[in-house]
Amino acid sequence: MWVNTPINNAWLGNQRQRSLPVQGHPKNKHPTVSGLFCATTVKRRYWKNLGRLGKAALRQFVMAVGPPWCWSMTVLSMFNIVSSLQHLMHPTTAKRFLIPVSSGGFRLLHHCHGFWISFSVPTLRLLILGLLLSYLSSGTPSALALEKYGRPLPSINDSNGREAEESLFAGYFLTGVFASNPSFAARPDNTGLVGLRHMLHLETDLYKQYLTFYTDQNFFSDRTNGWIELSEWDGTYAFTGVLGHVNWRLQYERDAPIDRKGVTQEYADGLVTAKFQAVQDFPWWQRRFPHQNLTAYAGAGWLFHNRNYFARPDNTGRALFRYVAHADLDLYKNKIVLYGDVNMFTDRDAGNQASPTELDWIIGLAVRWRNMEFAVYHEQDQPLDRAGLVQKYLALQLRFSFDISKQDLGIGLAQPTSGDQ
């Protein structure tokens, strides 16, 4: 913690005490001029030492979350993927790519009017540059229905979104750093500690909101093995649908190590949840809370196929049933969202197969701007029926969403007849 550095609150308190008797000093013959000079000198010292304090705090934060080049490589991969998606959806958008160089920095390649322009980018400025260019890029579509139930990310779509409009190609890309991770493993066999997380979510509506196919590709790195090299790949493939307030899902997931041989977990399950939105289900909500909303769902699922998908964080037992609950509290116009998620598993080898043996809970705060989202969240996975391993972490996460509907491309629109003209 920064309080262990030479610059701390006690030191700042001494500075404040020294700055008090400026004009009232008995040796001050000219209190106006001399007092102004002394006040200016003390103020300069204060801001100079405050800057040192900030640097000391930053050094402690770097020691906690990893070296700056880890953030740089994370933002580099995120920036290049976002730039490619933006140019794919809007060809008029300029191409921008970041590439590392041997000197330790990066170069920004900008395609403009048929020419590639190269700029030198210092490593420490890469994070700011990546965020600014991603935010200022024009022509990105508005984010719509991207979230299904049973996953702990808050929905980016507006509560009054177009449920009946089919998405031809929608999804999001996210990248995050586990700022604090004392025990969350980097592989299915509970080895290593997660450093970075990258995820790609893609979905397409097969028939409106009633039948949708989606896939999640989750990648993790091991902070004990250099931070960058990927250590685990979780692949998910599912069919899902919405019918009024009822949601259903059929999903297959496979979790496997990448950098070495080890335990592979896979399962297939079915899940049914009931959902409500305060704006739609409570007539009085809009009048009392015009800029807020509450969305929640809860349900249960059955892992009808299970190969090594465990019932506790210490890799014991085999999961049979799943109980889920999720809530998104829109604090202001879907720009600031507080969300929580609860996921429980039961053990098919236990005496009571319906009693939960593991509890996974998440609480987070998300801030959004257009189709971008920055979130800070904490997760903890713990056993319920016995003492054992508890896995937990605190993460910082950046997410970019996109949605191309069939109507946007003119697919499925009825052609005008002669009588309509």
Residue pLDDT, tens place only, 140-176 = 333 333 333 334 566 666 544 445 566 788 999 999 9
10 Å CB burial of residue 387 (0-12, 13-18, 19+) is exposed
Residue 300, pLDDT above cutoff 60: yes
Q: Residue ranges of the alpha helices (H) in 224-368? A: 278-281, 285-288
- pLDDT level of residue 59 (50, 70, 90 thresholds): low
How much helix, strand and coil, in percent to the nearest 5, is found in the chain?
Answer: 25, 45, 35
Q: What is the CATH number of the domain that holds 355?
A: 2.40.160.40
Min mean pLDDT across 79-83, 291-295, 382-386 is at: 79-83
Say whether pLDDT at 284 is over 70.
Answer: yes
Q: Is the pLDDT of residue 382 over 80?
A: yes
User: For residue range 310-364, what is the model confidence (pLDDT) as tens digits?
Assistant: 999 999 999 999 999 999 999 999 999 999 999 999 999 999 999 999 999 999 9
Average pLDDT, the chain: 75
| 395 or 412, greater pLDDT | 395
pLDDT of 3 reads 39
Residue 380 counted as domain residue: yes
- Does residue 97 register a pLDDT over 70? no
- Residue 77 and residue 219 in contact, taking contact as beta carbons nearer than 8 Å: no
Q: Show the tokens assigned to 240.
A: 């899902």
Judged against a pLDDT cut of 70, whether residue 292 lies above it is answered with yes
The most confident of 36-45, 58-67, 178-187, 396-405, by mean pLDDT: 178-187
- Count structural domains, the chain: 1
Range of the domain at 301: 140-409
Phi, psi of 82 (to 5 degrees): -60, -45
**Does 379 fall in a domain?**
yes
Q: Give residue 405's pLDDT.
A: 76
Whether 416 maps to a domain, the answer reads no
Residue 372 falls inside a structural domain: yes
Domain presence at residue 130: no
- Binning pLDDT at 50, 70 and 90, where does residue 420 land? low
**pLDDT per residue as tens digits for the range 338-350:** 999 999 999 999 9
